[in-house]
Structure 1
């Protein structure tokens, strides 16, 4: 069990400062509803229904990027998900924000402006330094408690994530609690049968590090995506290379070649590689080719083939636990969703403990009509999920644990 306090430990009738992660795709200046709003709404609703005065912190984008924008639209989406009004003030810790916080009644909800519009928020620094910022010192005295529900940002040392737990009683929200328990299960739980990890996506550097770190916890790895092609390259196949204007493979190969070759050499019996790959044929339709028939890479491969899916399915169906990190193909294009969806279907039909990690991969569940209830946990975290799998510390979780320890003392 986690060593932090949760909402079950929160005193009644509190004025609560709650950190969410509502970072979303922005289209034409408008935030798009996604799974994060739905998940965080559970924590916010629970706090409001319990009669707490609820003030929310969240971020969107980074300064200088196109998706760096105000949170006014986020408040509207969250209100729909919570089923209650969510007030918004275009200020974080100035007079306007302080007045709005002071005016809150029991059960009311207020979202403050984008935390990354504050100079104190973004620079990575120790929790002790963040606790001394004007941002934290101004807001903290107005609250009885701090709740961190932003597990997907827990790998960051930002003021709103690590500063407040040093100066306020601190608790984990429901998203933080469930994400932590599911994503650390691979290291903390004992499983009776085989443990399988499906590895894909475009960020091969991340997942290769995960494979190396988990070599004693995972019985077999099923590979696809960019990482899968790089391992095929290490195995002697003429793939895993950039062609045309592509810029996915060669740089990651140079950075990870030694690690890929050592992992393949040491754990080759546990690593399953694609036997066929899919690409866009001359007529624009999906086409497939056996890996052994590829003499030279002349086109981009966008999915694993049907034979690979058929090869991977038995390994999943006999597993006691399956962890997914990354899609096996470009599932956003329906022509190249067969690998990702086929594997997710097999997991959904198997009575195993299953975690689907990463915001991108979890979107395939919704896009292709799968039921989230058929998986033990669908994570909304990306970088934090990687950290949890590799056993690296999550600063925001550590500060929650330290806060709980101080209360026990």
Structure 2
């Protein structure tokens, strides 16, 4: 059992799972190239431990997942996904070109112990495109048709847990349900953020998603979760401007063009309320093709990264942190010349003895392979789910699991 906030969520250890028929919700939604082929299979690989454990415990396993949205280029069938999973698992994953029709139901009914099936893209079912409360989704045809065929439901799809669709929230209300190992790992890691004993907590927030990051800072401040919030990227420029610092004409034009200046009152309100927000003391800028380090009060040129003094100060804050959360880079890391700030804070976090949570995306690239067998490092698979979690919003799939029918 794992606890997050006021939710108690069962894991694979809490259900009788031996010789059972299990419906496993995974998230194999992957980048797809122009020819309809999988570009990156890391999400499929992540579910291997959960699938292997269920098979080793002599269960038959039926996986259900989505890929893209109707009308988009990446909305494809899951046949190749089954082939990739077969390779990773070293066993046959049978692809069923159906979701809940007679053919799929017959195949499921006739499964033998240890067999593994992947149903077709669940978003081919119109109901899966509509969000609603668990009580409503439990009454959908998808849930009604499939649930009688299974003994248990396992949700291993943390990255989609911010959605309230039938395959994610409907089944727990009618079946014994639990979190898979990917979901368990995510929830266990993220629960450290809200554990009072795990302090001090330092959040390193950067990147270009300013409104999203502002919402996170508002929640962290309201709930008094963060001891320090170290800013980089555009969010740092917003808070610097909110403090009355003139970042120069070129940067102000960028902020205005992106609609960021309209957020100044919200940023100023946070500062006035005592939010533990730190802004850079210097920046790395590009001016007339040249790269320079400049103090925050004397910016000339386009801001591209935090400066070396900021990197040192931020690193000193991180050094004593019990939990460090990194979401969004300090600079334009697509350009190797402006990765130093992000590399510095990542290095400080990894060398620290505390727990490190990396919020996916760009910051994962800064890890540069330093991820193997590190029990104090967690790389979140959740994009939108992690954002909503940090913003203090409830995740429907977790709420549904806590309501599991026993």
Q: Same fold judged by TM-score > 0.5?
A: yes
Moved over 6 A (4+): 240-249
Quick check: 1:91 aligned with 2:64? no
Judge conservation of contact 2:220–2:391 (CA < 8 Å) in 1. yes
Tell me if 1:8 matches 2:9: no
2-structure distance, mates of 1:344, 1:357: 12
Alignment partner, residue 392 of structure 1: 393
Residue in structure 2 matched with residue 379 of structure 1 by the alignment: 380
Unmatched runs of 5 consecutive residues or more in structure 1 = none
Aligned to 1:203: 209
| Post-superposition offset of 1:363 | 4.2
Q: Which runs of 5+ in 2 are unaligned?
A: none
1:344–1:131 CA distance, 2 compared to 1 (3 A): same
Cα distance in 2 for residues equivalent to 1:247 and 1:42: 45
Residue of structure 2 aligned with 1:157, choices 159, 164, 180: 164
Does the 8 A contact of 1:230 with 1:240 survive in 2? no
Change (3 A) 1:302 1:19: farther
Aligned to 1:344: 346
Give the corresponding residue for 2:330. Answer: 328
Query: Aligned to 2:235, what secondary structure does the other structure show?
Result: helix
Cα deviation code 1:207-244 (max 9, x no counterpart): 21221211212111110122122112212234499879
1:42 corresponds to: 49
1:249–1:158 CA distance, 2 compared to 1 (3 A): farther
State whether residues 328 and 361 of structure 2, in contact with CA within 8 Å, keep that contact through their aligned partners in structure 1.
no
CA deviation after TM superposition for structure 1 residue 281, in Å: 5.9
The answer to whether the 8 A contact 2:255-2:261 is kept is no
Are positions 1:271 and 2:277 aligned together? Answer: yes
- Deviation per CA, 1:139-170: give whole Å up to 9, x if none: 11111111001111111111100011111111
> What is the rounded CA distance, in whole Å, between the counterparts of 2:323 and 2:176 in structure 1?
36
Q: 1:319 aligns to what?
A: 321
Deviations 1:163-199 (A, max 9, x none): 11111111110111111121122113412x5221111
* 1:271–1:244 Cα change, 3 Å: closer
Three-state SS of the structure 2 residue aligned to 1:184 is helix
Contact 1:372–1:378 at 8 Å: present in 2 too?
no
Q: Which of 293, 299, 318 in structure 2 is aligned with 1:294?
A: 299
Q: Indicate conservation of the 8 Å contact 1:202/1:248, yes or no.
A: no
**Match 2:231 to one of 223, 232, 239:** 223
Secondary structure of the equivalent of 1:27?
Answer: coil
Report the counterpart of residue 369 of structure 1 in structure 2: 369
Following the alignment from structure 2 to structure 1, what is the Cα–Cα distance between the partners of residues 373 and 332?
A: 24
Rate the CA distance shift 1:220–1:77 in 2: closer, same or farther, 3 A.
Answer: same
Relative to structure 1, the CA distance from residue 247 to residue 35 in structure 2 (aligned partners, 3 Å threshold; closer, same or farther) is: farther
| CA-atom RMSD in angstroms | 2.5
Instruction: For 1:88 and 1:114, locate their aligned partners in 2 and report how far apart those are by CA, in whole Å.
Output: 10
* TM-score normalised to structure 2 length: 0.89
Distance 1:321 1:115, change over 3 A: same
Report the more deviating stretch, 136-145 or 72-81.
72-81
